[in-house]
Structures are given as C-alpha cells and as structure tokens.
Amino acid sequence: MVIKTPPFIYMVLSSVLFLCSCDKPKLLMAEKDQAESEIKRLLDEAKTLDGKFFSLGIDAATASMKLQMQNRDLAHKNTLLEQELATLSKKCTEGEEMVKSLLPRLESYKAKLAR
C-alpha cells in the first residue's frame, strides 16, 4: 500500500502536536497547589488555636469538660451559699426582732430593781 496523500500525515502530526500542547496536568497541579496552600492556612489557624489553649494552661482535649465540671461545682457552691445566706438573713431578722422585744422588758426589770 502506498500512501500518497500528505493530508493524512498532517492529521497525524497535528494530533501529536495537540497532545503535546494540552495542559490538563498543569491545571490539575495548579489545583493541587491551591489545595496544599489552603491546607497550610488551615494548619496555621489550628496552630493559633492550640496556642490559645496552651496560653490558658489547659489541655485542648479535656478543657471543655474540665471547665464544665468546674462551673457545675461553682454553681452548686453558689446555690448552697445562697441558701445559707437566705437562712442566715431570716435568722438575723428574727433574732433582731426578739432582742428588740426583750430589751425593753429587761430595762424595765432593771429599773424596778434599782428602785
């Protein structure tokens, strides 16, 4: 078989050139680089957060739970203190009233005694 038609050759050559000039891998690599830089940014952000946890002197994994427990204890303590204060306040008022009612009687007794 004898190939005499040069256009066929041109077609083959242009296909080869087309393949060579195609930049899909470059686009993919650019996208990958973009993803990598995004990862780097996110890791930096995570590092900043770790620094914040560290500055508080707490372990990031258990910090929330520890603080929650601490808050619960504090709230419980405050509730007890509030109850104690309410009781104490009531007792003080009662006591003051009692003293107030007893003192005139005492003074009256002492006055009579002095006579």
Q: Concatenate the DSSP letters of all residues of 1-50 into one string.
A: -----HHHHHHHHHHHHHHHH--HHHHHHHHHHHHHHHHHHHHHHHHHHH
- The torsion angles phi and psi of 103, rounded to 5 degrees, stand at -55, -45
Contact 48, 40 (CB under 8 A): no
- Residue 45 interacts with other proteins (CB under 8 A): yes or no: yes
Beta carbon of residue 63, minimum distance to other proteins (angstroms, whole number): 5
* End-to-end Cα spacing for the chain: 156
CA separation for the pair 95, 33 (Å, rounded) = 80
- Residue 8 interacts with other proteins (CB under 8 A): yes or no: yes
The residue to which tokens 């006055």 are assigned: 111
Footprint of other proteins on 46-105 (CB under 8 A)? 46, 49-50, 52-53, 56, 58, 60, 63-64, 67-68, 70-71, 74-75, 77-78, 80-85, 87-89, 91-92, 94-96, 98-99, 102-103, 105
Binding site for other proteins (CB under 8 A): 1-4, 8-9, 12-13, 15-16, 19-20, 22, 24-25, 28-29, 31-32, 35-36, 38-39, 42-43, 45-46, 49-50, 52-53, 56, 58, 60, 63-64, 67-68, 70-71, 74-75, 77-78, 80-85, 87-89, 91-92, 94-96, 98-99, 102-103, 105-106, 109-110, 112-113
